[in-house]
Amino acid sequence: MSSPLSYRSLKANWPYDIQKFSDGPRDQQDEVFRFVGDQGSAVIEGPTGMGKGAVAYVIITAAHKLGGQAFWIVPTKALVQQFKAEFPGLTVAYGRNEYACAWAAEDFDRDLQHPITAQELVQLQTNPNAVKVSDVATMVCHRCPHYVDPESGDTNVPGVPGCPYYVQKHRVRHADRVLCTMSFYLYRFVFLSRKDRVKQLPATLVIDEVHRLPKVVRYSLSYDITDYHLSQSIEVLERLGNTTREEVKTIKQFRTAIRRLAKARGRRASVEALLEDDEIHRLIEILEPIDADVLANKVKAAITDGLIRPKEDRAAIKRLEVLVRDIRRYVHAFMYSTDWVTEHGEERRPLNYTCSFYRTEQEVVQLAEETGDLRFRKKVTHKLVIHAAHVASLIRKCLLAPITVGLSATIGNEDVFQFITGINFPILRLASTFPADNRRIYAPTDTPSLAFDAPASRRHKTRMLRQVTQSTRWLSDGRRGGFRSLVVVVSEEERQKFIEFASQAGLTVTTYGNGIAAKDAAADFKEGEGVVLLGTSAHYAEGIDLPDGLAPVIFLLRPGFPNPSAPEQQFRLRRFGKSQTWKLNWYDVCQQVNQTAGRNIRSETDLGVIVLIDRRFRRYAFASLPKWLEPAYRGELDWDACLADTVKLLKIS
C-alpha cells in the first residue's frame, strides 16, 4: 500500500540539531525509512543498538507535519524519561499516580479559605507523603477548584493554579507529538465509545517494544473484586438510606456469592481456581439489575449534599467509585469469560478467565503477625480475579492508528506475534551490526531437565543452583578475570534458595526484597555492589542493561513454562487447544531466551555469554535465534568446557 509518509519526508526530519544524531541516519535506520515510506503501517524487528528511539522520533515528527496527532508509546516510565531527555519538544504524559492532589492539600475546602499557590503546588509534587490524584475519586476531582477542563484549559475556579495532572490531559488533547507509557495510552482510548474513539485516536502511532504491548494490556485490564472492598462500599451506601436500598441488597448478595464460590467444589485455600461457566452466569444474573449510571448519580448527589465527605471518606469514595464504574465492566468481563454471542449473532470464544481465591482465618492471622499489620485480620479473605487473556482483537479494534509502526528487537515467530497482538502489518527484519563472535549462547550437554514432572526434579534444581553458585564464585576469582554474573531464575522459591547457597559459599549477592526494589538493586549492582545480580525473569529478563562488562556472564536457570494446573494454562487449553497452547508457551519462552541473552550486549564492543541451564533449552533455543546470531550458539560442550570457553572469550578484552 502507498503511505502518506514518504522516504523523503522521513529523511528530511532527521534530528541533525541534536548532537548525538548530527552524523545523520545509519544504514539500518535508512532502510527502515524506506520500508515505512513504502508500506505505511509496519513492524520493524531491529537489533539492539540500531537506534530505534531516533527512528520513532523521526516517524512521529514527519507524521504530525502531515496533519493529525502522533503518539509514541513505550512500556515504562523510565523509557519515557530517557526519551524525553534525548528528544526535547515532545509533550510527555504520566499517570494519575505521579501527581499530588492540590485539593487534598487544602483539606477539600470548598470555600478555598487558604488556597494553594502555584509555587506551593510545585513543591507539593515533591512531597512523597502527599495524597496522589490516583487516590481521589474522579467524581471528586471534577468538583475540585483546580480541575482543568480538557478542552478549554480553564479551572473550575478562575485564578487558581490548575491541577498538574489535568493540565497535562489538556495539553495531550491538543499536542502534536505525545510521548507516554502504553498504560496511559490504553486508558486514554480504550474506554471511549466507538464514535469518540474514531474522533480522538491519533493519526500516527509508534509502539516501542511492541512485543510487550499484549502483556501491558492484559495486566492493565485485569482486576480483583474483594469481599473487603465490597463491604467498604456497602457501609458508605447504607448512609444514603432508602435511595440505595436495592443496590445495597444486590451488592450484599454478590459478596455472599463470591464467598461461596471461593470454597465450592473442593477448592483449596490460597490457590486461584478457574470458575466454571455456570458459576460465572450466576454472577452475571446477580449484578445485571444494577443500573450503574443511576447509582453513580446517587453517589454524586450524596457528595454534593454532604452525606459523603471527600476528606473523611476519601478512600471509601474511591472504592465506591471503582465499584460503580466497574459494575458494567464486571458484567462484560464475566460474559467474556464464557462463550458469548456478538450483537450480530456471531458466536465467540472466551476472551477472559475468572478465578476465585480465599484465605483461611488461620492464614489471615498468620499474615497479620508476619507483616506486623493487624489490618490484615479484617482485610481480604475472599476475592474474584478477572484476567484479561486474549487481547488481540481489542488491540486491533481500539488502539491502532491509521498509520501504526511497531518496533522491537524480538518479534519472533510472525504467526504467533500476529495472533497475540492482533497486529498484521508487513515485517522488516534487520540483522545486528554487533559481531556474533563477541557472544556465546551455551546449552551444556550434561545438565538435567528441571521440568516439574521430571524424575527427581527438585533434587536436580537444588543441585544446579549450587552449581551456579560455585561457578559464579569461580568466575569472580581475580585469577580468572574477576567476572561478575547475572543469575535469572523463574520463581521466588528459587531466588531464596540461591541466596541461601550463596551465603553458605561466602558469595556476595545483590538482589531485591526487604524494602529494596528490583530497579534499585540493579542500580546498586551497576555501582559495583556484589559479585552476582540475582532476580526472577519477571524483573531481569528484560528492561535492564548491563554493558561494558558489568555482568558479562548470565545464567538462565530454566524456561518459564506455566504450571499445567495454573488457571492461565487451563484457560489456554480450553480456549485454543493443546497445539496452539504449546505454540504460545514456546513463543513466550523463546522471547525470554532472546531478551535475557541481550542484557549484557549493548554495543559492538561488548563481550558476553549466557548459559542456558535446563536441558529443555536444547530442544528449541537454537531454533529461536535470529539467523545472524546462530554462529554464537554452542550446544556441544559440557558445563566445565562452557566455563573454560567463557574465560577464553572474555579475556580477549
Cα–chain-centroid distance for residue 338? 25
pLDDT digits (tens, 9 = 90+) for 427-453: 999 999 899 999 999 999 999 999 887
Asked if residue 647 lies in contact with residue 472, where contact means CB atoms within 8 angstroms, the answer is no
**Which cell goes with 84?**
524525553
The residue whose grid cell reads 508500506 is 39
Higher pLDDT, residue 457 or 459: 459
The per-residue pLDDT for 1 is 44
The per-residue pLDDT for 254 is 92
Q: Can you list the positions of beta strands (E) in 122-227?
A: 177-181, 204-208, 223-226
Tally: H helices and E strands in the chain: 26, 20
Q: Residue 381's closest CA among 232, 234, 259?
A: 259
Continuous H helices in 223-381? 227-238, 245-263, 277-287, 292-305, 314-335, 361-371
Radius of gyration of the chain (CA): 27
Q: List all residues 6 or more positions away from 329 whose beta carbon is below 8 Å from its beta carbon.
A: none
pLDDT digits (tens, 9 = 90+) for 596-639: 999 999 888 999 999 999 999 999 899 889 899 999 999 999 99
Q: What is the CATH number of domain 222-390?
A: 1.10.275
CA distance 541 to 238: 48
The per-residue pLDDT for 271 is 87
Point out which residues pair with 633 in neighbouring strands: 441
Q: Which amino acid is at 369?
A: E
Give me the sign of the Cα torsion angle 397, 400, 402, 406.
negative
**Above 90 in pLDDT, residue 101?**
yes
pLDDT digits (tens, 9 = 90+) for 25-82: 999 999 999 999 999 999 999 988 889 999 999 999 999 999 899 999 999 998 999 9
Provide the 8-state DSSP code for 395. I
**Which cell goes with 64?**
504530525
**Above 90 in pLDDT, residue 113?**
no
Point out which residues pair with 385 in neighbouring strands: 224, 355
**Which cell goes with 29?**
535506520
pLDDT digits (tens, 9 = 90+) for 122-167: 999 999 999 999 999 988 999 999 999 999 999 999 999 999 999 9
pLDDT digits (tens, 9 = 90+) for 155-210: 999 999 999 999 999 999 999 999 999 999 998 988 777 788 888 899 999 999 99
Task: For domain 7-93+172-218+394-429, give the fold.
Answer: Rossmann fold (3.40.50)
pLDDT band at 368 (very low <50, low <70, confident <90, very high): low
Percent of all residues in the chain with a pLDDT value above 70, rounded to a whole number: 93
Rounded to the nearest integer, the mean pLDDT of the chain is 90
CA distance 523 to 634: 31
Domain segments of the chain as ranges: 7-93+172-218+394-429, 100-162, 222-390, 436-650
Spell out a b/e string for 560-572, using b for 16 or more CB atoms within 10 Å of the CB, else e: bbbeeeebbbbbb
Asked if residue 407 lies in contact with residue 207, where contact means CB atoms within 8 angstroms, the answer is yes
Give the phi and the psi of residue 564 in degrees, each rounded to 5. -55, -25
- 340-358 average pLDDT score: 72
173: enclosing H helix or E strand: helix 164-174
**Above 90 in pLDDT, residue 334?**
no
Q: Is residue 28 classed as helix, strand or coil in its secondary structure? A: helix
Measured between alpha carbons, how far is residue 407 from residues 46, 392, 487 in Å? 7, 17, 28
The per-residue pLDDT for 193 is 76
The per-residue pLDDT for 290 is 87
The residue whose grid cell reads 454478590 is 254
**Above 80 in pLDDT, residue 345?**
no
- 503-524 average pLDDT score: 94
- 537-546 average pLDDT score: 92
pLDDT band at 502 (very low <50, low <70, confident <90, very high): very high
- Edge-to-edge strand list for the sheet holding 553-556: 509-510, 532-536, 485-489, 553-556, 608-612, 439-442, 633-634
Report the greatest alpha carbon distance in the chain. Answer: 80
Asked if residue 604 lies in contact with residue 49, where contact means CB atoms within 8 angstroms, the answer is yes
Q: How many CB atoms lie within 10 A of CB 94?
A: 17
pLDDT digits (tens, 9 = 90+) for 6-38: 999 999 999 999 999 999 999 999 999 999 999
Domains 7-93+172-218+394-429 and 436-650 share a fold: yes
403: enclosing H helix or E strand: strand 403-408
Measured between alpha carbons, how far is residue 101 from residues 124, 180, 310, 323 in Å? 8, 21, 12, 22
Give me the sign of the Cα torsion angle 533, 538, 539, 542.
positive
Q: At the fourth CATH level, which superfamily is domain 436-650?
A: P-loop containing nucleotide triphosphate hydrolases (3.40.50.300)
pLDDT band at 458 (very low <50, low <70, confident <90, very high): confident
Q: Burial-class residue 651 by CB neighbours within 10 Å (0-12, 13-18, 19+).
A: exposed
Which of 347-356, 503-512, 553-562 is predicted least confidently?
347-356
Measured between alpha carbons, how far is residue 483 from residues 435, 548, 639 in Å? 21, 12, 17
Point out which residues pair with 269 in neighbouring strands: none
Spell out a b/e string for 209-224, using b for 16 or more CB atoms within 10 Å of the CB, else e: bbbbbbebbbebbebe
**Above 80 in pLDDT, residue 94?**
yes
The per-residue pLDDT for 550 is 96
